[in-house]
Amino acid sequence: MFRKLWYWLNKVRFFDVYIPEWLYKRINQNALLEEARMRMQLMQEEIIRKRIINYYETINSGKVDIPSFIQAEEEIARLKRSGDFQLLVTKALEDEVA
């Protein structure tokens, strides 16, 4: 039995085994959904990053101390460490709707 299982696992590993089309479509669909979720999250983070940069640019207008994008990246890193980043995302999305 172990020999048959080992043989089958090796065939699967090298993709010599037939995968039914419905199973292939389902695997592919799940992978596409996960990729879309990841892209959406990255897009939300990028929107927040741009808003924080704009915020620091308006605060620092006329000052040349620290570039606003560096302050924004530090703020984003701090929020992610403290776990408040999701709160910031929801607040920014509420501001966008308002």
List the alpha helices (DSSP H) in 14-67.
Answer: 21-59
Question: Does the pLDDT value for residue 85 go beyond 50?
Answer: yes
56 Cβ neighbours under 8 A, 6+ residues apart = 68, 69, 71, 72, 75
- For the chain, percent of residues with pLDDT exceeding 70: 52
What pLDDT does 51 receive?
A: 80
pTM of the model: 0.41
Per the prediction, the chain carries an average pLDDT of: 71
3-state secondary structure at position 95 = helix
**What does each C-alpha distance from 46 to 22, 32, 41, 81, 98 come to in angstroms?**
36, 21, 9, 17, 20
Per-residue pLDDT, averaged over 42-69, amounts to: 72
Query: Which of the listed ranges 21-30, 33-42, 58-67, 77-86 does the model predict with the highest average pLDDT?
Result: 33-42
